[in-house]
A and B are shown apart, each in its own frame.
Chain A
């Protein structure tokens, strides 16, 4: 069995298309990470400004001045020290962007003229303890990951689609006449498919996180995601978790998403006559749920977000209510993914065992 799995894996990874696609996903990751980094802008309001590395350094320096638990005193301090007061070019002060901390505090605690809006920390965040600091690097990494993981899931479909139906173009003649062709062979294919999905998602995650680490360092991993700059507020996750937790969830959801889409693709790989059809049908079944609108509060939505496509999308799934205890609803993604894998495994093996050459 080990040998079979090994050779099935080799079959998957020796395909030029697989290699090329994986290289593309990694290149895209590098491109996104690099361009995001290069396009960072910050000024400290005291004459220092810049992009890229300089911007990150300025952001970190500003954040360092206020890092720790967010208090009303800190809010006042920030309002008076870094929030711009007058509108430049007719722009209201609140829309002026200088750096991430300024943006975060302006968005929540200042009026349109740059004065305190009268809200206290407890008015905005209830009785949550908000640890603030430099979170921008990791948050933008998380945003990029959503894009990359979405594309990556189509890479997985492409990689897994030929696992069964790749044989239907002739090798099935040989396979099905061998002792284990209708049994262990299919099991080895399922296991190899799952391993391939796991291995590639770990590689993609590792490359992305390592790049982020190289660009931004480990700063901010223990800070809350809630005190983030304006651009992250829309579509963000309304729970007081740290950047580290956020990324951990995202990594888990990347893996569960990969497993879920593998399960779906295995089904159509066994059931379709050729790889192209298997790819298109799997991609449609995987991707279409994203286009069906469902009210976020409905029970249907809570189920729908457990579909693999939402694991990569991740923000919707992460935003569904908090469960009691320390876990978010998103942990249901794990049993959901296992369900897809088990279904894919059972169905594809059944179909392959019954397959007849043509």
Chain B
């Protein structure tokens, strides 16, 4: 199946959150990477039919997802970036509720809910009220609800927010195992979240996709722009102000190795190195943060 956005645009008043975006997605895991405010959440909301585009459209195999309606949402799973919950519901109640909304029959809903609670590590808390949950537990419950209907299209908005390192690993494994023959889209502003599991990266900036490709393809765009150089540790501080530094490593001999993103060699003796995703991200978003 093929999910395409065609000239997709969403404006909030005069603010354009998604700007004439075009993209075609087939089976695979996609990492939607962009700084805060880039338009990731808005794009995902449009993909999930919880918001209507101002113009343009999204089609699944050539048919508008709004026209497909229930048939589209039947194959869709969505973890919103921020979602409410019912404080006095238990985790299991909540999953049963969403399962009912997704049209699962009772028996199936119970079975799938407890399996998913197990998979996200909440089986021990299935009968606890959600109001007693930590942020990470709510997030895992959110991931579980998205997967209840075994969706063909799974859209996760900042899924690793609030997860600790161990939970992140568990999440990555869960998604890797799940993603076969499906379209999975993960958004994040943390590169390491998707560096290893995303087969394709969509880099988004100001409502547009500025790069779309396999990780090594899109990092090659800035090859020649990443440098490593060794400077005295005492002066490293100074460099962080003037240079775009993606990494910084202190060595024992009183020197510090800087990883610098720059079009020209930043200091004499700097050597070119292979760029990675993090470098790419910094290359495009550095000026925005300042």
Contact = CB atoms under 8 A, between A and B. Distances in A.
Interface of A: 3-4, 7, 10-11, 14-16, 167, 169-185, 356-357
B97 interface: yes
Contact of A4 (B73, B76, B78, B100): B100
B50 interface: yes
A356 B52 contact: yes
Contact of A7 (B50, B76, B97): B97
Given A173-B78, A180-B70, 5 more contacts: A174-B98, A174-B142, A177-B73, A357-B45, A357-B51
The dominant DSSP class at the B interface is loop
Contacts of B268: none
A313 B80 CA distance: 46
Nearest to B74: A179
A7 B102 CA distance: 14
A16 B52 CA distance: 35
A179 B102 contact: yes
B35 interface: no
Nearest to B75: A179
Contacts of B103: 179-180
B85 interface: yes
A190 to B, nearest CB: 15
B277 interface: no
Interface residues of B, number: 33
A3 B96 contact: yes
Given A3-B109, A169-B84, A357-B50, A180 B102 contact: yes
B80 to A, nearest CB: 4
Interface stretch (B86-94, B179-187, B200-208): B86-94
A353 to B, nearest CB: 10
A183 B86 contact: no
A185 B99 CA distance: 12
Contacts of A183: 70
30 contacts: A3-B109, A4-B97, A7-B93, A7-B97, A7-B100, A11-B97, A170-B80, A170-B85, A171-B85, A172-B50, A173-B45, A173-B48, A173-B80, A173-B83, A176-B48, A177-B50, A177-B73, A178-B102, A178-B149, A179-B103, A180-B70, A180-B100, A181-B73, A181-B101, A184-B101, A356-B50, A356-B51, A356-B52, A357-B45, A357-B50
Interface string B59-87: 00000000001100110101010111110
Contacts of B96: 3, 7
B19 interface: no
Interface of B: 45, 48-52, 69-70, 73-74, 76, 78, 80, 82-86, 88-89, 93, 96-98, 100-103, 106, 109, 142, 145, 149
Nearest to B47: A177
Nearest to A15: B88
Contact of A170 (B73, B83, B88, B98): B83
A170 B70 CA distance: 21
Contact of B149 (A16, A173, A179, A356): A179
Nearest to A18: B88
Contact of B83 (A4, A11, A171): A171
A7 to B, nearest CB: 5
B15 to A, nearest CB: 13
A176 B50 contact: yes
A41 B78 CA distance: 67
5 nearest CB pairs, A to B: A170-B84, A173-B80, A14-B88, A178-B101, A177-B78
A175 B74 CA distance: 12
Contacts of A4: 97, 100-101
Contacts of B83: 170-171, 173-174
Contacts of A356: 50-52
A293 to B, nearest CB: 43
A181 B83 CA distance: 15
B50 A16 contact: no
A173 B82 contact: yes
Given A10-B89, A183-B70, A177 B84 contact: no
A229 to B, nearest CB: 48
